[in-house]
Amino acid sequence: MKIGIVGYGNLGRSLRGLIERDENLNLVKIFTRRDSNSFNDDKMESIKNLLEYKDKIDVLFLSLGSATDIPEMAPEIIKNFNTVDAYDNHAHIPQYFEKMDDIARKNNKVAFVSTGWDPGLFSLNRLIAESILTKGHTNTFWGRGVSQGHSDAVRRIKGVKRAVQYTIPKEEIIENIKENSKDYKSFETHNRLCYVVCEKKDEDRIRNEIVNMEDYFKPYETKVKFISEEEFEREHTNMPHGGHVIRVGETLENNREMYKFTLELDSNPDFTASVMISASRAVLKYVENKNYGAHTVLDTPPAYYNVLSHEELIKNYL
């Protein structure tokens, strides 16, 4: 499979490393808005030249931010390329899906949208859990860990030099979830903690913009700590994450059953990139079947993610 990557941040670098070690994948180019010559790397190419590779790439990974980049760039890119993205602004996914689906269908392309682990694997497990345990309560807990989407949203604030956001679940709720099952709001079960590097004079404005940011921080309890670049480099450059999807349901005679799906990740971008690569295999099968349009983890057959034949899958996994 011939692969291209748009964007070269944390996720883009993880994608590159995983693609280059996979003998079934061929990395054609990485497209950047920066000066491609500054990298001294023959894989780097200016985003301005993207259309020159229209017939040379099977799947294009969009390793871009969800705050503004993906909503602005993906609808144009899908006109000429099959794409996979990890768009994670949950509140806007329905509108984004609808837009990408319409454009992809008109251009005989496939857009695999909002993959990764949440949205993505967590979405799928919420669906499975609620389909099995039809009476009950589902809650999702994220962290403790670094949220790439939230960190990117903070970094886009004027004056922010570096930033990272940690999502912190309230462990006492998780520990007692089977006995105290109900539908919690995510802001009731999590706190958010931001570490920001900026000029002293900008601190109050930046703190105010963060805590009042719709779809990301409001109405969560959010703390913002301003630190030096040296401390940031020393303490906050790793990217662990994880979390749980927990469904507590009732069956017969008031029996309580708990469905729990857990991820423990040393590297959020590495794992997200791994999920995106599995989605690219599904994209090729959608293209082969001329099933154009937008697709998600919720409507994709599990067999599409794997390179094995149907017979091999049954033999190995059933």
Is 244 annotated for ligand binding? Answer: no
Is 281 annotated for ligand binding? Answer: no
Is 33 annotated for ligand binding? Answer: yes
Is 34 annotated for ligand binding? Answer: yes
Is 162 annotated for ligand binding? Answer: no
Report how far residue 209's alpha carbon sits from residue 18's, in angstroms, rounded to the nearest whole number.
Answer: 36
Is 37 annotated for ligand binding? Answer: no
Is 167 annotated for ligand binding? Answer: yes
Is 117 annotated for ligand binding? Answer: yes
Contact 130, 247 (CB under 8 A): yes
Contact 146, 194 (CB under 8 A): no
Is 9 annotated for ligand binding? Answer: yes
Is 32 annotated for ligand binding? Answer: yes
Is 15 annotated for ligand binding? Answer: no
Contacts with 218 (C-beta within 8 Å, 6 or more apart), sequence order = 211, 212
Is 192 annotated for ligand binding? Answer: yes
Contact 174, 193 (CB under 8 A): no
Detail the residues annotated as belonging to a binding site for NADP(+).
Answer: 8-11, 32-34, 115-119
Query: Can you say which residues are annotated as belonging to the binding site?
Result: 8-11, 32-34, 115-119, 142, 167, 192, 241, 268
Q: Give the residue ranges of the annotated binding site for substrate.
A: 142, 167, 192, 241, 268
